[in-house]
Each structure stands twice: as C-alpha cells, then as structure tokens.
Amino acid sequence: MKRLITTVGGAYSNSYVTIPQADLIAFNFPWSSDWNTFSDDDKTLALIQAAFGMQQLPWNGLKCSPAVDAGLPQLDWDKYWLKVDDIVSGGIFSYLTNDGFATGVGQGDEVFKYGIEGDVVFSATSSFQYKTFETGLTFWDKDKVEIPPDRFEILSSSGSSGDQTRDIVVYWDTPVDISYITGSFNDAFNPGRSGRWLWGVYVNGEQLFNFPGTTATQSQRLAWPRSGVTCDGETADCTYVPETIFITQVMIAYNFLKYPNQVPGTPSVDTTPTGTYIKRQKLDVLEIEYDEFSNPESSSCDDCGDPYLLQIYPWLKDVLQCWLDIRSGNSQMIRLFRN
C-alpha cells in the first residue's frame, strides 16, 4: 500500500491532504457517497496522482525552498521507509544518526523495544534480517508469547569476543505475525555500555529502513506552499497550504477514480484537441489553410497550449482563480500565404 506523506513543504511529501481530510472535503459534494465506495488504497493512489498532476499548473507566486525538513535529522524517519505495507508507525530510533545505528537504553532484557503490544507490526514473517552489536533480539506475538525462530544464519561477524557486530537472518518454517521485538544487552565489565541496532533491516527479504543520516538540502517536493501571492485577500506564505488547494486535489482525485484513463501518463489517452481550425484558406490572393485537432475534450484550439489538467478540467480555472497565473492566453496564429 502506498503511503500519503503530507508534511507541509516537505522534501518527501506526495499529497496535500490525508484520507480523513479528503473524506471530510468530499462530504460537502453531491458525489460524497460515491467517493466512499472507493477503498482507502484507491483514494491514496488517486490523491498522489492528483498532487503530482497539479505540479504542472501555472501557479502564481514562488515555490518555497529549501524543504522544511532539509538538512535536519529524520525525526519522522518512519515516513521514509522503503517498504510500508506491514509497518505500524513508530520505531526504535528517535532519529537515524550519521553512523547509522540506534543505541539501546542501559542494560538488561529490553535495551530496545520496537512494536505495539496487542497488535501486529510485521505480518506473515518468514525471515527477519538484522545487524546488532552484542544485542540479541527476541520476537513476540500480540499475546506476549515469544516466537523463537526455527533457525538462523550468521551472514557476517566482526570484532573480538564480547565486542562483536553480527549480521544475522532468522527464519520461521511457518510464517508468524510479530507484535513487538525486544533487544537484550549485558556487559558486567562495562556497565556504561549498551547495545546497538544498525540500520538495514529486512523482513521477508525486503529492506525496511531507509538510509541513515540527514535529508539533503533539496527544495520542497510539491508546488505548495508558496510565497508572493495574494488571492481574494488571502496571502500565501511558506507555513501553510490554502484550503482551496486541498479541495482542488480531492476534486481531481475523484475524477481520476471515476475516469482512470484521464490520469496523466495512462496509455492510449489522446490529449490533443479535436475539431477544425484555420490552417489555410485562399481568399483572392490570400490563402488560409484549415487543419483538425483530435482531442475529444475540446473542439477548438483555445486551450491547446494549456497544461493537461486545464485542458480536461477547464473548471479548474474557476475553482483556483487567482492562485493560477492565467493572464497570458494561448494566442493563435493565422498564417497567410500569397499566391
């Protein structure tokens, strides 16, 4: 399942609204009951497609830069996992350090504890690969019953006895549902030390954790928030996204759900306009020629230079109004030929 990341001005954001926000916005439209027939997975994909389709609209103002989370520790690191299908929010790290590991708390049987008691964090797990420093992991189900692996394999080991870092993969012959994981560390000779859990965790052979360190200093991913634009008395800045943008995203997403062939990039969708326009026609010594478009959404060339979304949804101009830069129309040229 795809995941919506709605950090305002974030480097990884892929949507302006969450599913609950989108549902609330849809409630105000006559098609709200139809919207609710779609699954959250379908809504998520449509909202992501809508957000990125909106990137090409001619917005007024300036895109904010850099991203709000650029160059900072990944405090919300769980948003950036490579795989999120079987993951519950939260994690073992408060943030990922440049060294790529988390340090446990003290010594004992729970220097680490990751997961949610009474719930399933990793479902149908047949293998779990991890790398730790002198830290053994124990796996538990939602009833707080230990789930011992059937076997394990040491992929790599470094350091001397008592100071070893090992990369281990454990296996269950019958897939298990893991609720939480604890890590144990005991070193009587060095009471100030604790265990380490390194990045690079694999469940069923797929990597879960993203790379350690900080985010790059790139700009925000989406077109909004923006600065330098005022519309209907509302002045935009880099701290928020106008409500109109939220509403627009949901409206586009609903149209994509109803008509998937309108999603940009969908094969066999002809986006060129249809109808005829003057290309050449002979008037005495002057000749004007006609030609034809092939866009089923339009019978003229009035919008043939507009971004794709404005061509198929011309009502967007009325919804977004002065948030868009639509001052310059698409001028048409009539080429005159003299005999």
Q: What is the pLDDT of residue 3?
A: 72
Report whether 227 contacts 62 (CB < 8 A): yes
The Cα–Cα gap between 217 and 226 comes to 18
Q: What is the pLDDT of residue 294?
A: 40
Q: What is the pLDDT of residue 207?
A: 57
**Per-residue DSSP letter, 54:** G
Provide the token pair at 59.
């917005």
Domains of the chain: 77-207 (2.60.120)
Q: What is the pLDDT of residue 33?
A: 97
**Segments in the chain below pLDDT 70:** 1-2, 69-102, 199-201, 206-218, 268-305, 327-339
Q: What is the pLDDT of residue 236?
A: 94
Q: What is the pLDDT of residue 316?
A: 95
- List, as one string, the DSSP characters of 22-42: HHHHHTTSTTHHHHTTS-HHH
Which pTM value belongs to this model?
0.53
Q: What is the pLDDT of residue 334?
A: 40
| pLDDT tens-place string over residues 250-296 | 999 999 999 999 998 777 545 544 554 444 455 555 555 544 444 44
| Buried b or exposed e, range 283-321, using 16+ CB within 10 angstroms | eeeeeeeeeebebeebeebebbebbebbbbbeebeeebe
Q: What is the pLDDT of residue 182?
A: 87
The Cα–Cα gap between 336 and 339 comes to 10
Q: What is the pLDDT of residue 199?
A: 60
| pLDDT tens-place string over residues 59-75 | 999 998 777 766 544 44
Q: How far is CA 17 from CA 8, 164, 186, 242, in A?
A: 10, 46, 46, 11
Q: What is the pLDDT of residue 59?
A: 96
